[in-house]
Amino acid sequence: MELYPELSSAVLASLVHSLHKMCLLTYGCGLLKFQHLQAWEMVRLEYMEEGENVISAYRQKLVEYFTMQLSRDRVTWRSADELPWLFQQQGDKQKLRKCLLNLFVSQNLYKRGHFAELLSYWQLVGKDKSSMAAEYFDSLKEYEKSCEGEESMICLADLYETLGRFLKDLGLLSQAVAPLQRSLEIRETALDPDHPRVAQSLHQLAGVYVQWKKFGNAEQLYKQALEISENAYGAEHPRVARELDALATLYQKQNKYEQAEQLRKKSFKIRQKAARQKGSLCGFALLRQRALQLEELTLGKDTPDNARTLNELGVLYYLQNNLE
Per-residue model confidence as pLDDT tens digits over 7-49 = 778 877 887 888 888 888 887 766 778 888 888 887 777 777 6
Task: Please count the residues of the chain.
Answer: 324
Determine, yes or no, domain membership for 91.
yes
Domain-located, residue 76: yes
Asked which of 95, 112, 127 is the last residue of a domain, the reply is 127
| Same domain, residue pair 68 and 123 | yes
Of 79, 96, 127, the last residue of a domain is 127
Q: Please write the tens of the pLDDT for every residue from 233-273.
A: 998 898 999 999 999 999 999 999 899 899 988 888 888 88
Task: Determine, yes or no, domain membership for 190.
Answer: no
25: Cβ contacts below 8 Å, ≥ 6 apart: 16, 19, 32, 33, 34, 35, 39
Whether 73 and 123 share a structural domain: yes
Q: Give the residue from 127, 148, 182 where a domain finishes.
A: 127
In a domain, residue 2? The reply is: yes
Contact 116, 153 (CB under 8 A): no
Co-location of 21 and 61 in the same domain: no
Q: Are 64 and 21 in a shared domain?
A: no
Q: What is the pLDDT of residue 272?
A: 80
Residue 107 lies in a domain: yes
3-state secondary structure 184-247: HHHHHHHCCCCCHHHHHHHHHHHHHHHHCCCHHHHHHHHHHHHHHHHHHHCCCCHHHHHHHHHH
38: containing domain: 1-47
40 lies in some domain:
yes
- The domain tally of the chain equals 2
Question: How confident is the model at residue 22, as a pLDDT?
Answer: 83
In 3-state terms, what secondary structure has residue 25?
Answer: strand
pTM score above 0.85 = no
pLDDT in tens, 140-190: 999 999 988 888 999 999 999 999 999 999 999 999 999 999 999 999 999
Instruction: Please report whether residue 112 resides in a domain.
Output: yes
Between the two ends of the chain, the Cα-to-Cα distance in Å is 27
pLDDT tens by residue, 51-75:
677 788 888 989 998 988 887 667 8
Query: Closest Cα to residue 102, out of 89, 118, 90?
Result: 118
Residue 82 lies in a domain: yes
Claim to verify: residue 8 and residue 61 sit in the same structural domain: no
